[in-house]
């Protein structure tokens, strides 16, 4: 006798998108850091329009926006899962949370450095 495989029904695609948008919305509503990232993203967009950055520079900015925001969402997921599993102070739980937060920090630092490379010369040109 072979193993009996349960047939798994997939949810409609629109429901999957709904869950994803719900997760984004809840994270934006409840997490301070993603609000900061979105605020910085909006400032970059405003400065990009004002300074007429190139198409390539826009593409770089949007890839970085996606990277930082996505990592912040994953960080929130990791923190919530760890908190769901244990309320005690446990070294492995702390390592998981710290590593997820560190991933966001690394991406944000590099996004900031790249932002400076793109924007500082243009800002200097405007004010000189």
pLDDT at 121 over 60: yes
Choice among 7, 30, 72, 88 that is catalytic? 72
Q: How many CB atoms lie under 10 A from the CB of residue 8? A: 5
Q: How far apart are CA 109 and CA 111, in angstroms?
A: 5
Per-residue pLDDT at 7: 61
72 annotated active-site:
yes
- Can you tell me the mean pLDDT for 108-112? 98
Q: pLDDT tens digits, residue range 4-51?
A: 556 667 888 999 999 999 999 999 999 999 999 999 999 999 999 999
pLDDT at 99 over 70: yes
Supply the mean pLDDT for the chain: 93
Per-residue pLDDT at 3: 55
Fold for the domain defined by 34-127: Helix Hairpins (1.10.287)
């Amino acid at each position: 006798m072979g193993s009996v495989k349960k047939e798994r029904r997939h949810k409609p695609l629109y429901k999957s998108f709904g869950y994803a948008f719900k997760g984004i919305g809840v994270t934006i509503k409840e997490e301070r850091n993603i609000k900061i990232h979105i605020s910085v993203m909006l400032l970059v967009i405003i400065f990009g329009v004002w300074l007429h950055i190139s198409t390539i520079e826009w593409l770089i900015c949007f890839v970085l926006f996606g990277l930082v925001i996505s990592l912040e969402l994953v960080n929130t997921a990791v923190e919530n899962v760890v908190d769901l599993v244990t309320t005690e102070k446990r070294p492995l739980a702390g390592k998981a949370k710290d590593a997820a937060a560190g991933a966001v920090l690394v991406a944000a630092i590099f996004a900031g450095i790249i932002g400076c490379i793109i924007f500082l010369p243009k800002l200097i040109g405007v004010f000189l």
